[in-house]
């Protein structure tokens, strides 16, 4: 086995093992939520690009920092599926199918939606905070960014990718995503790139909190039984429960 193959197996082997069985047996039927998300995104993009549907999609799914907070929060769930008109929609559809599909298989539907919403909401709230701080503050944004529509599905895709990399120890892959988003900010200095970094930061905080909580649970379980913490913890749990969902 070559060095590259060994690296790929170490980096992506656990993730591949987690998704291989369901995809081989059921194919796209194993990821109905991801397929539904792709279809919804395609429909919203088509409607958004039509004169008769542009205003409707804007009213139900376009989030800006200048919007009232209650309205932004109301629109945020659907904003996950409204791609930017100035970017190729096929790229967004491929990303959603791939990343949402992997997350659905590995995290489950409920947790996938929670992480996706957390990442999108973090970007939305950061935009409001950045505009309030102003451009003279390191994390601040110019007032013109208050009228820019939020990133759409990309923040959720980035957040889920980092979450999967954390959970399955694909740290180089997660690091590559983070570096790419940082490079986007350095080269373009746009609102979308900064919202992506805010989404990553929020997901990493939650992942780290989950890891700390799991470690504390292992320590308590180990100290109560007198056995080494990890051995005692694993002995009391089933094989499918030994890894934190983060």
List pLDDT tens digits, range 162-182.
Answer: 999 999 989 999 999 999 999
Q: Region 201-211: what's the mean pLDDT?
A: 92
Q: Which of 18-32, 115-129, 194-208 has the least mean pLDDT?
A: 18-32
What domain range is 200 assigned to? Answer: 14-241
- Asked whether the beta carbons of 163 and 246 are under 8 A apart, the reply is yes
Q: Is residue 222 part of a domain?
A: yes
**Most confident option among 14-23, 36-45, 216-225, 236-245:** 36-45
pLDDT at 190: 85
- Token match 């932004």: residue? 72
Cα 121 from chain centroid (whole Å): 11
Q: Is residue 7 part of a domain?
A: no
For residue 239, pLDDT beyond 50: no
32: number of Cβ within 10 Å: 13
Which are the contacts of 192, defined by CB distance < 8 A and separation ≥ 6? 84, 151, 154, 184
Q: Region 140-145: what's the mean pLDDT?
A: 91
Q: Is residue 2 part of a domain?
A: no
- Asked whether the beta carbons of 137 and 126 are under 8 A apart, the reply is no
Q: Is residue 43 part of a domain?
A: yes
Q: Region 132-141: what's the mean pLDDT?
A: 88
pLDDT at 234: 40
For residue 127, pLDDT beyond 70: yes
Number of domains in the chain: 1
Q: What is the pLDDT of residues 29-82, one digit of tens each?
A: 889 999 999 999 999 999 998 999 999 999 999 999 999 999 999 999 999 898
pLDDT at 136: 87
For residue 221, pLDDT beyond 80: no
Q: Is residue 6 part of a domain?
A: no
Q: Is residue 65 part of a domain?
A: yes
Confidence of residue 218 (pLDDT cuts 50, 70, 90): confident
For residue 98, pLDDT beyond 60: yes
Work out the mean pLDDT of the chain and round it to a whole number. Answer: 85
Give, as one character, the DSSP assignment of residue 35: H
């Amino acid at each position: 086995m070559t060095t590259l193959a060994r690296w790929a197996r170490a980096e992506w082997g656990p993730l591949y093992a987690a998704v291989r069985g369901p995809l081989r047996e059921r194919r796209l039927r194993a990821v109905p939520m991801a397929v539904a998300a792709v279809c919804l995104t395609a429909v919203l993009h088509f409607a958004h690009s039509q004169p008769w549907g542009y205003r409707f999609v804007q009213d139900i799914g376009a989030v800006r920092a200048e919007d009232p907070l209650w309205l932004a929060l109301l629109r945020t769930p659907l904003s996950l599926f409204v791609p930017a008109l100035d970017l190729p929609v096929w790229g967004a559809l491929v990303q959603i199918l791939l990343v949402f599909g992997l997350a659905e298989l590995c995290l489950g539907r409920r947790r996938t939606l929670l992480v996706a919403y957390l990442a999108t909401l973090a970007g939305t709230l950061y935009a409001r905070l950045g505009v309030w701080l102003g451009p003279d503050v390191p994390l601040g944004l110019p007032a013109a960014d208050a009228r820019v529509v939020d990133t759409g599905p990309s923040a959720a895709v980035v957040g889920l990718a980092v979450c999967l990399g954390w959970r399955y120890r694909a740290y180089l892959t997660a690091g590559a995503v983070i570096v790419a988003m940082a490079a986007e900010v350095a080269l373009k200095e746009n609102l979308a790139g900064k919202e992506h970094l805010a989404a990553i930061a929020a997901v990493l905080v939650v992942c780290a909190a989950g890891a700390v909580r799991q470690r504390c649970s292992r320590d308590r379980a180990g100290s109560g039984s007198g056995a080494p913490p990890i051995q005692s913890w694993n002995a009391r749990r089933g094989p499918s429960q030994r890894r934190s969902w983060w």
